[in-house]
Amino acid sequence: MFPEKRKNGKGLLIGYARVSTFDQNPQLQIDALVDAGVDIRHLYEEKVSGSHLNRPRLKDALEFMKKGDVLVVWKLDRLGRSLQDLIGIIEDLKKREIGFKSLTEGIDTTTSGGMLIFHIFGSLAQFGRELTRERTLAGLEAARRQGRKGGRPRSLNNEQCETLKELIEQGKGVSHIARILNTSRFTVYREMSK
């Protein structure tokens, strides 16, 4: 779009501003991004909740960016839905040799100090995932020791399973069986495969 600015070897500052609802005003973010040096022509604004997977303006910004550019946000939570999502985006930028700056938190991955902070965030996220995994495994092991099975409960009880077998022997169709047992066809198929 503006390749002449990249010819001199200097990357562009690309701004991304997001508000969660249509009645919120992104002007505070936009003003801060412009004050930080983002050209208004390179500012991508979005009005969508961060929990949405589909953020088309963020996708546009990420696709537009080239090696040497820097993505600038007002605050970390404007970019990622979760710490894991945020780290994934930053790792992708890093692989493409694109920098990242968050104005509020003072993170700048184009500096060694900024990269250190972001690596600490990544380590904390990994530590959190490992703790969750360990707790889950410990809980499953404790349940097994008490004679309980892990996993989801059976969707059909023993009586329903017997009815299922009888209906299959009678040649009834899956949809018919699902209606009689008041369950989904998927459950019927799953029970049939056991």
The tens place of each residue's pLDDT in the chain, 194 residues long, gives 344 455 445 799 999 999 887 668 889 999 999 999 999 999 999 987 756 678 899 999 999 999 999 999 999 888 887 777 888 898 899 889 999 999 998 899 999 998 888 788 778 878 888 888 999 888 888 888 888 776 666 678 889 989 989 998 999 999 999 999 888 888 888 888 87
Sheet holding 43-47, edge to edge: 43-47, 13-19, 70-73, 99-102, 107-108
Active site residue 20: yes
- For 46, counting Cβ atoms within 10 Å of its Cβ (0-12 exposed, 13-18 middle, 19+ buried), the class is buried
Q: Which of 20, 82, 155, 184 is catalytic?
A: 20
Q: How far apart are the first and last CA of the chain?
A: 58
Q: Which two tokens stand for residue 31?
A: 């003003």
Strand positions, DSSP E, the chain: 13-19, 43-47, 70-73, 99-102, 107-108
pLDDT at position 1, please?
Answer: 39
pLDDT at position 4, please?
Answer: 42
- Beta-bridged to residue 73, according to DSSP, are 16, 102
pLDDT at position 125, please?
Answer: 78
Q: Which CATH number does 3-111 carry?
A: 3.40.50.1390
Positive or negative, the Cα torsion across 175, 178, 184, 188? negative
**How far apart (Å, rounded) are the C-alpha atoms in residues 68 and 117?**
20
Report residue 164 CA to chain centroid gap.
40
**How far apart (Å, rounded) are the C-alpha atoms in residues 74 and 102?**
6
Domain assignments of the chain as residue spans, ordered by start: 3-111, 158-192
Q: Which two tokens stand for residue 81?
A: 């839905």
The answer to whether the beta carbons of residues 40 and 52 sit under 8 Å apart is no
pLDDT at position 144, please?
Answer: 84
